[in-house]
Amino acid sequence: MKLFKSKKGNTDEPSKGIIAEKLITIYNKLQSGWAGWMSQRTSALSKRDWVISLACFVLLMGGYSTYLVISGFTSTSAVISNNVSNIRKPAYTGQMEETQNAGAPLSDAEHARIVGFRKYMDSLQADPSGKKVYDSILQKRPGLMDSLSQIENYYQQFKNKRSWKTKK
């Protein structure tokens, strides 16, 4: 029984690409080669040898883990100290406001294009035959109209702030 069933006929997923497929092929060859080599080396071991090997591994790793835990509580010479120092304020922090407001992040031409696109979308929404195009655009880009509104609001705030500074 499969835990996760794959969806058949889903063509929206991007293809892996030639390089990714070659890397996967190389990885699978290396993995199977390593497994074959390990099988050849351990094929002569008996059940008794496997049990002894496992017991040695468990004892060695258990002993080392116990050593690490005990030395963590008892040893003080091996402790790495972290130096804590004050955070220094960069020299340019006082100039931040002037550098942010130096120029509009959106030019007037770009703003005109956005307003034109908004008008185009509104006309599509109003027209019964354009409604299908409008809906398909919003289905592919669900947050498009919200983003346009946010950009227009930001641009208007920037314009108001800039005109307020020039009046001073």
pLDDT of residue 29: 97
State how many domains the chain has. 2
The average confidence (pLDDT) of the chain is 80
Q: Is 28 a member of any domain?
A: yes
Rounded Cα–Cα distance for residues 101 and 95 (Å): 11
- CA dihedral in degrees (20, 23, 29, 32; nearest 10)? -80
Q: Is 139 a member of any domain?
A: yes
Q: Is 86 a member of any domain?
A: no
Host domain of residue 59: 16-74
pLDDT of residue 154: 82
Residues 161, 117 share a domain: yes
Q: Is 30 a member of any domain?
A: yes
Structure confidence by residue, pLDDT tens digits, 83-106: 777 888 777 666 555 555 555 567
Residues 161, 112 share a domain: yes
Q: Is 145 a member of any domain?
A: yes
Structure confidence by residue, pLDDT tens digits, 38-86: 999 888 889 999 999 999 999 999 999 999 899 888 866 655 666 777 8
pLDDT of residue 148: 87
pLDDT of residue 152: 84
